[in-house]
Structure 1
Amino acid sequence: MPIYAYQCGSCGHARDVLQKISDPQLTRCPACGAEAFTKQLTAAGFQLKGTGWYATDFSGRKPAAPAAEVAAPSATKKEASAPASTPAAASSDS
């Protein structure tokens, strides 16, 4: 059963209600009794993430390359050689 958000237009009281889709919409506010209790429009309570969903596989666009493949190969070689020389310099100072 879905959860619907309601809010009173008279007093501002808000409440989430667990209802069947076939249940009639509530109209009377439980706090003040006014006939101004209306259903609110809310966002869906789930998201489709990961591979296999429309946004990644069936949209007709090619997926972007991972960040590791985008980096230039020369920058990767420089980073690999820099850490090896740093510890040796630190141990000779002691």
Structure 2
Amino acid sequence: MPIYAYKCDACGHAKDVLQKMSDAPLTDCPACGAPKFNKQLTAPGFQLKGTGWYATDFKGGGAAAVPAAAGTAADAVATPASAAGGDTAAPAATASAAGCAASCACH
């Protein structure tokens, strides 16, 4: 079951509540009783443990996880922009876009 963060707009009381996704949201503040108790938007938190993909593919820096052809294409795209004195963020965006087809949804 997910944990939802709630905060009262009237008194500022905040509380984390363990609820089913199908449960109706809470509306009444447990501290002041006002009907101003609203769900807050929060980032999910999780941790991967064990001998999964992190320990085998990315823990040592990820060099072994990148295929040689993909690294070469990224270097080829990044070299002209960096040699011309361009922004260092632009080659990364160009390199990621180089792997996409012209009809993809990201362009």
TM-score computed with the length of structure 2 as normaliser: 0.46
Aligned residues: 58
What is the CA-CA distance between 1:46 and the residue it aligns to?
1.5
User: In the alignment, what sits opposite 2:89?
Assistant: none
User: In the alignment, what sits opposite 2:20?
Assistant: 20
Q: Choose between structure 1 and 2 for higher RCO, CA contacts under 8 A separated by at least 6 residues.
A: 1
Q: Deviations over 1:33-90 (max 9, x none)?
A: 00100000011112568237xxx76xxx53xxxxxxxxxxxxxxxxxxxxxxxxxxxx
SS at match of 1:22: coil
Larger Rg: 1
User: In the alignment, what sits opposite 1:4?
Assistant: 4
Letter paired with 1:32: C
SS at match of 2:30: coil
In structure 1, C-alpha distance between the alignment counterparts of 2:21 and 2:44, rounded to whole Å: 15
Unaligned runs of 5+ residues in structure 2 are: 59-64, 72-107
What is the CA-CA distance between 1:20 and the residue it aligns to?
0.2
Unaligned runs of 5+ residues in structure 1 are: 63-94
Indicate the percent of aligned positions where both proteins have the same amino acid: 64
User: How does 1:1-94 map onto structure 2 within 5 Å?
Assistant: 1-46=1-46, 50=54, 51=57, 62=71
In structure 2, C-alpha distance between the alignment counterparts of 1:47 and 1:39, rounded to whole Å: 23
Over the aligned positions, Cα root-mean-square deviation in angstroms equals 2.7
TM-score computed with the length of structure 1 as normaliser: 0.52
Letter paired with 1:8: C
